[in-house]
């Protein structure tokens, strides 16, 4: 695929596995905390986009198609791309089971095969943290969007920084931990600014790591402690993951 990195990066190898695709939703969204994450993601997308019906939306790095199916169920005209055929196969099965129409196709976030401003909104979740060339991905998301770009990322000012450093160190010595990078808000804002987009709204999910909440496994506990930490002002300072919507400037 022209412009895309060589597929030997771990993010290509890992997600191309059928075993990864078949268990992805349960590992990410299973259990009480996974359900909470899923519900929050749905609400955040709805708040960021506003009217969903009949909007042209591109979901980049769709994985098993959770966001794509959600948006399609709201009446959007959704195209969803992923570099992994294994993930796309699961996404197509789930869309058929849900009775929603999504145009799934193979594609790479670094080199999207669409014309400039082809979509009203582009969505890209859990991609920047893993992708080889994250700035190129943001450039492509902005290029094909007419108005809005929605992304998420783990914050460098959160507990995710420690986990990221640990995973990257283990990966370097051959331990099978999936590494990822963290970002500062300023770095992300600067990347969008280069392409004529400004951050319009931000949502931060948790102060404590998701892994901590999953280990406890209590929705009530998570909501209680996170509410207390938010009242203490910590969510705004160290909350993660961060979801944001960037809007194209009128003059660009």
pLDDT per residue as tens digits for the range 160-196: 999 998 888 888 888 776 789 999 999 999 999 999 9
Whether 199 has a pLDDT exceeding 80, the answer reads: yes
Q: Which fold has domain 10-248?
A: Rossmann fold (3.40.50)
Euclidean distance between CA atoms 1 and 83, whole angstroms: 10
What order of strands is seen across the sheet that includes strand 119-124? Answer: 102-106, 77-82, 56-60, 119-124, 145-153, 240-248, 197-206
pLDDT per residue as tens digits for the range 75-105: 999 999 999 999 999 999 999 999 999 999 9
User: Of all residues in the chain, what percent carry a pLDDT higher than 70?
Assistant: 96
Domain-wise residue ranges, the chain = 10-248
**What pTM did the predictor assign?**
0.94
Predicted pLDDT of residue 91: 97
């Amino acid at each position: 695929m022209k412009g895309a990195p060589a597929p030997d990066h771990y993010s290509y190898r890992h997600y191309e596995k059928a075993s990864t695709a078949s268990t992805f939703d349960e590992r990410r969204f299973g259990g009480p905390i996974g359900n909470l994450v899923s519900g929050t993601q749905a609400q955040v997308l709805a708040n960021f986009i506003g009217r969903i019906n009949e909007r042209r939306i591109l979901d980049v790095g769709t994985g098993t198609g959770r966001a794509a199916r959600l948006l399609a169920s709201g009446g959007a005209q959704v195209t969803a791309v992923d570099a992994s055929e294994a993930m796309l196969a699961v996404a197509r099965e789930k869309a058929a089971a849900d009775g929603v129409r999504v145009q799934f196709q193979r594609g790479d976030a670094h080199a999207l095969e669409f014309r400039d401003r082809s979509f009203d909104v582009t969505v890209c979740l859990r991609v920047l943290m893993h992708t080889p060339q994250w700035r190129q991905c943001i450039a492509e998301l902005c290029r094909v969007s007419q108005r809005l770009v929605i992304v998420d990322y783990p914050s460098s000012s959160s507990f995710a920084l420690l986990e990221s450093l640990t995973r990257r160190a283990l990966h370097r010595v051959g331990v099978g931990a999936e590494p990822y990078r963290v970002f500062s808000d300023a770095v992300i804002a600067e990347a969008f600014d280069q392409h004529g987009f400004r951050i319009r709204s931000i949502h931060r999910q948790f102060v404590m790591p998701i892994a901590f909440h999953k280990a406890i496994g209590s929705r009530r506990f998570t909501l209680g402690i996170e509410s207390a930490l938010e009242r203490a002002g910590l969510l705004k300072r160290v909350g993660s993951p961060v979801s944001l919507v960037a809007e194209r400037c009128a003059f660009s």
